[in-house]
Amino acid sequence: MSKLTPAIEIEDLWFSYDKTPVLKEVSFTLEQGNYMAILGPNGGGKTTLLRLMLGILKPDRGTIRVLGLMPKEARDRLGYVPQSTEINLSFPISVFDLVLTGRLSRSRIGRRYTSTDRGKVETILEKVGMLKYRHWPIGQLSGGQRQRIFIARALATEPSILFLDEPTASVDPEFEVGLYEFLEELNREVTIVIITHDVGVISRHVKSVACVNRTLIFHGAAKITQEMVDMAYHCPVDLVAHGIPHRVLPEHEE
Amino acid sequence: MWEALHFEFMRNALMAGVLVSVACGVVGTLVVVNRIVFVSGGIAHAAYGGIGLALFTGLPPTLGAGIFSVGASLIMGAVSLRSRHRTDTVIGVVWAVGMAIGVVLVDLSPGYHVDLMSYLFGSILAVPKSDLWFMLPLDLVIVFTVLIFFKEFLAISYDEEFALVRGIPVNALYMALFCMIGFSVVMIIRIVGLILVIALLSIPPYIAEKFTSSLGTMMVLSTLFGILFTILGLWISFSFNLTSGAAIILVAGAAFFLSLAVERIGGSGLRQNVEEYTR
């Protein structure tokens, strides 16, 4: 079998908002089928990196290839779960119609949704356990339920890569466990990139870790290196104080 | 009320009310859910510049207002896409400058202009048949545009960024929406005048939103509310000899406050009840 195109290939990426530099010298390659966690402090550029990979932002310098294409061209194959699901809570839209928007595509602008689209949405709603809520207005769901709907919307795009931006930020712990199991299952078919604060989860589920704070350190295994800890949090004590199990931290090698 | 229908001006007024309500219902719904009510206020007031231009050059006032309101829509659309955080400032500037241009051009036009008030407060009772033939195609353009691109308009209104990632031409659709606001404003000015445009664009959708969680239903309901308000307003204006535009807005305003009161008393159960009922 020939080698697959990498899911993501970034080379010497630089980005700044106006004149404030946000990311510099970011380079890494992520193979398809991988499950990568991106961690780092607030304001370190995690979400910015995600938005660059989705083609919402354009880099100042450097190249990004997603599935071998420019991010803009690869969009049809990318699923995206934004950080905040609190947007537009009073918007007149039902769960079903919201997930249907995941079936939108450039090539079908101005055409109706088909019965295939509706069928797929029903299957996905079933999968995330929200089918019985399909007629509910979005504003009446709890945070966790809304999160499932946003994941369903991303899955409705039938993505090759799924990006999630802190999907457990506003949900109950029970849902969190379920979500990570769900993602692990999903990872058999889909490359996953997840931004998270939750360092504890990383060792158990993901296949690789990247740490972003202005620049990026990539680790092919699900390990948080001392270097990452130093860069991300400046102080390992801080990490431990947040209840990180010690086994996550690797042995000091040098 | 019924004897009033013997008058042609009354039949025209009712037709105009219906045509404008369709535009208000469809475009107003998108305006409300996109939270750009004040954009439409700005466009309406800037249209006064076009009325001044028409007086000055001898063009038909509706054409002048049309040029200015579509122009103002495009400027606001372009600015709000480019620098979102300063949109409100630009709305204010276009709003004021448009009106100022109008005032100055009226000053420069010879003669005394008694009918200017009708552009400020509307004159639905003086709508000629020719205006109806001008409103109908605008309505059709709006309705068909929204019908064809309904799922895309829904997507950009709910979550613009997701729509962008799906490859939807968000900017082009926004510009189309702003153009449709421009068209609607020109029509609404005939009915309630440019000062009251905001009310007719926003009140019917606002009330309709309480009854439904579907954007399409919201458009239909707000069209019906718009028709109801214009007919009631016309009747009051005819019976008590009041300015028609203001009467229509006061009816809409009364309905607005009534809906707030009902919501307070009945809790937030209105929408759910209707929904459970229709399920």
- Report how many domains make up chain A: 1
Which amino acid is it at B211? F
Residues of A with Cβ-Cβ distance to B166 under 8 angstroms: 75-76, 101-102, 104-106, 157
CB contact under 8 A, A106 and B271: no
Residue A114 has a CB neighbour count (10 Å cut-off) of 11
- Residues 19-58 on B with a CB inside 8 Å of A are 33
Is A182 inside a domain boundary?
Answer: yes
Residue A245 scores a pLDDT above 70? no
Total CB pairs under 8 A between chain A and B: 87
Query: Which tokens belong to B192?
Result: 């309630």
pLDDT score recorded for residue A170: 66
In this prediction, residue A246 has a pLDDT band, given cuts at 50, 70 and 90, of very low
Report the alpha-carbon distance of residue B258 to residue A235 in Å, rounded.
59
Is B195 inside a domain boundary?
Answer: yes
**DSSP alpha helix (H) spans, chain B:** 8-33, 37-57, 61-82, 87-108, 116-121, 129-148, 150-158, 160-165, 170-192, 197-209, 215-240, 244-265, 269-278
pLDDT score recorded for residue B43: 93
Residue A104 scores a pLDDT above 80? yes
pLDDT score recorded for residue A200: 66
B248-270 residue pLDDT tens: 999 999 999 999 998 888 655 55
CB contact under 8 A, A105 and B275: no
Average pLDDT over residues A114-139: 92
- Work out the percent of chain A whose per-residue pLDDT is above 90: 38
Residues of B with Cβ-Cβ distance to A91 under 8 angstroms: 33, 157-158
- Lateral strand order in the sheet of A8-17: A20-30, A8-17, A61-66
Read off φ and ψ for residue A152, nearest 5 degrees. Answer: -60, -40
Shortest Cα–Cα distance, A75 to chain B (Å): 6
Average pLDDT over residues A7-14: 91
Which residues span the domain enclosing A42? Answer: 8-248
A101 → chain B, closest CA residue: B155
A27-51 residue pLDDT tens: 889 999 999 988 888 888 888 999 9
Residue A1 scores a pLDDT above 80? no
Which residues span the domain enclosing B133? Answer: 3-199
Average pLDDT over residues A188-197: 89
**B159 and chain A: CB distance < 8 Å anywhere?**
yes
Helix (H) or strand (E) segment spanning residue A78: strand A78-81
Are residues B156 and B170 in contact, defined by beta-carbon separation less than 8 angstroms?
yes
**A87 and chain B: CB distance < 8 Å anywhere?**
yes
Exposure class string for A23-61: b at 16+ Cβ within 10 A, else e: bbebebebbeebbbbbbbbeebbbbbbbbbbbbbbebee
Report the alpha-carbon distance of residue A139 to residue A151 in Å, rounded.
16
A135-168 residue pLDDT tens: 999 989 888 888 889 999 999 999 999 999 988 7
**A82 and chain B: CB distance < 8 Å anywhere?**
yes
**B168 and chain A: CB distance < 8 Å anywhere?**
yes
Report the alpha-carbon distance of residue A13 to residue B242 in Å, rounded.
67
pLDDT score recorded for residue A105: 86
CA-closest candidate to residue B30, choices B132, B134, B183, B133: B183
Average pLDDT over residues A72-87: 85
Q: The whole model's pTM is what? A: 0.86
Helix (H) or strand (E) segment spanning residue A73: helix A71-74
What is the SS3 assignment for A115-129? HHHHHHHHHHHHHCC
pLDDT score recorded for residue A240: 36
A52 → chain B, closest CA residue: B165
In this prediction, residue A225 has a pLDDT band, given cuts at 50, 70 and 90, of low
CB contact under 8 A, B159 and A76: no
pLDDT score recorded for residue B148: 96
Domain CATH code at residue B113: 1.10.3470.10
Shortest Cα–Cα distance, B47 to chain A (Å): 30
Helix (H) or strand (E) segment spanning residue A30: strand A20-30
Are residues B229 and B255 in contact, defined by beta-carbon separation less than 8 angstroms?
yes
CB contact under 8 A, A80 and B162: yes
Is B238 inside a domain boundary?
Answer: no
What DSSP state is assigned to residue B59? -
User: CA angle, corner B15, sides to B10 and B19, nearest 5?
Assistant: 145
Average pLDDT over residues A69-82: 89
- Report how many domains make up chain B: 1
Residues of A with Cβ-Cβ distance to B168 under 8 angstroms: 104, 106, 109
What DSSP state is assigned to residue A104? -
All residues at 6 or more sequence positions from B226 whose CB lies less than 8 Å from its CB, including other chains: B17, B20, B21, B22, B24, B25, B28, B200, B204
ipTM for the whole predicted complex goes beyond 0.90? no
Is B156 inside a domain boundary?
Answer: yes
pLDDT < 70 positions in chain B: 1-2, 112-114, 266-279
In this prediction, residue A2 has a pLDDT band, given cuts at 50, 70 and 90, of very low
Report the alpha-carbon distance of residue B128 to residue B9 in Å, rounded.
7
CB contact under 8 A, A109 and B213: no
- Lateral strand order in the sheet of A208-213: A78-81, A161-165, A191-195, A35-39, A208-213, A215-219
pLDDT score recorded for residue B79: 84
Domain CATH code at residue A54: 3.40.50.300
Residue A12 has a CB neighbour count (10 Å cut-off) of 12
Report the alpha-carbon distance of residue B163 to residue B177 in Å, rounded.
15
Residue A204 scores a pLDDT above 80? no
Is A219 inside a domain boundary?
Answer: yes
B33 → chain A, closest CA residue: A91
CB contact under 8 A, B271 and A157: no
User: CA angle, corner B108, sides to B103 and B110, nearest 5?
Assistant: 115
All residues at 6 or more sequence positions from A6 whose CB lies less than 8 Å from its CB, including other chains: A29, A30, A31, A32, A65, A68
Is B207 inside a domain boundary?
Answer: no
